[in-house]
Amino acid sequence: MSRFGRRPLLLVSYLGTMIFAVLSAFSSSYVMFAIMRFLTGMALAGTSIISIALNVEWFGIEHRTFSGVIISLDWTIGNILLVGIAYFIKDWRMLILAVTSPLILAVIAWRWLPESARWLLANGKADAAHYYITQCAKTNNRTKVMATITPADLLQSVQVENRGNKYSIVDLFKTPNIRKLSICLGIVWYGVSFTYYGISLNITGFGLDPYLTQFIFASIEMPMKIGVYFYLEKIGRRSGEVGALLLTGLCLFINLFVAQDKWIVRTVVAVLGKSFSEASFTILFLYTTELFPTVIRQNGLGFTSFIARLGVSISPLIMLLEDVWHLLPAVTYCAVAVGSGLVASLLPETLNTCLPECIEDIEKPR
């Protein structure tokens, strides 16, 4: 992914998602539907990991938290809208087409998206980076700042060693510090997605109408993310990630002792757990982009996203453990949340730090 830049792959992700989603809506058999949805999920995964990297790389230190949290509000708004769309559109084919249609606007808006100047400079493409930064300066009425800056000046400011090298997923495990980051982030991503979807997919287990429960789950994310923004600005990423995961585990633990007929209490605790789980997701997207250097940032996000999808795939199957012991699924979700929270404590803090540009910035910080 790091070889082609952010912008072209984002368009591929948009178009791939649209094509496979539409094909799944017109599936003539279950096998065709399953394959098309699988391919839709693969294409859709690129949208989140590419857009967050492109978004964060265009912001400075003082606005990076804001950009990382605000972009995640789209997820919340989409969840809320999904409830209404699903409530009024009962036919599954039309529902797929309806929820896919916003991608048409995304494709139209794509033409105005700039390529990441950080990625361009890290790959020695100074002229293109200078063009995009100049356009950005015009938009912000800061053209005087760029008047005396040349492409060579930009290239010199980055100081990337081994510029022009082709990086792959193998580079996530070659050197000690990057390897530690990759392993720890993989575990945390697995735990976050495993727990988040475990709670989300069990919306019928709290005694309320599934549409209402999903709406509550989605609505609570808005105030939680606003709270996350202020926490990340003042305190930091690591403690926020650790705290969100441990509190998610605590809510799951409390619900172990709440009787099934007390659906109000169970729903309130579950909503709190879902909000903390969403907070951990929000923080982790921003945190991961800040930990990986520019030259392998997209590879790192791709790797962690793949591990997260493993968690998503296995999460629904955990409910089958009810046949062994009716509390075993909840105990499993709780243990994974707490375990991944403890692993997150091993990661470095990134509050008010510059984004690393190359692997040497992690292995031998300047």
Sequence ranges of the domains in the chain: 6-113+165-363, 125-158
Q: Which whole number is the average pLDDT over 39-64?
A: 85
The more confidently predicted of residues 283 and 166 is 283
* Residue found under tokens 């962690």: 304
- Give one DSSP letter per residue of 249-286, joined into a string: HHHHHHHTTS-TT-HHHHHHHHHHHHHHHHHHHHHHHH
Lowest mean pLDDT among 8-12, 30-34, 173-177, 352-356: 352-356
Measured CA to CA, the distance from residue 125 to residue 164 in angstroms comes to 9
Q: Is the dihedral of CA 257, 263, 268, 272 positive or negative?
A: positive
Q: What does the longest C-alpha to C-alpha distance in the chain come to? A: 70
pLDDT of residue 237: 94
Q: Which whole number is the average pLDDT over 92-106?
A: 93
Q: Find the DSSP H helices in 143-291.
A: 143-146, 151-158, 176-200, 210-219, 221-234, 237-255, 263-291
What secondary structure letter does DSSP report for 173?
Answer: S
For 159-171, the pLDDT digits (tens) are 555 555 677 888 8
Q: Say what percent of the chain tops pLDDT 90.
A: 35
In contact, 208 and 217? CB cutoff 8 Å: no
pLDDT tier, 291 (very low <50, low <70, confident <90, very high otherwise): very high
pLDDT of residue 193: 92
pLDDT tier, 245 (very low <50, low <70, confident <90, very high otherwise): very high
pLDDT of residue 235: 93
Lowest mean pLDDT among 222-226, 238-242, 335-339: 222-226
- Give one DSSP letter per residue of 306-320, joined into a string: HHHHHHHHHGGGGGG
Residue 4's φ and ψ, nearest 5 degrees, are: -110, -5
The more confidently predicted of residues 146 and 34 is 34
Looking at mean pLDDT, say which of 66-70, 98-102, 194-198, 213-217 comes out highest: 98-102
What secondary structure letter does DSSP report for 163?
Answer: T
Measured CA to CA, the distance from residue 195 to residue 165 in angstroms comes to 37
In contact, 279 and 228? CB cutoff 8 Å: yes
6-113+165-363, CATH topology level: Growth Hormone; Chain: A; (1.20.1250)
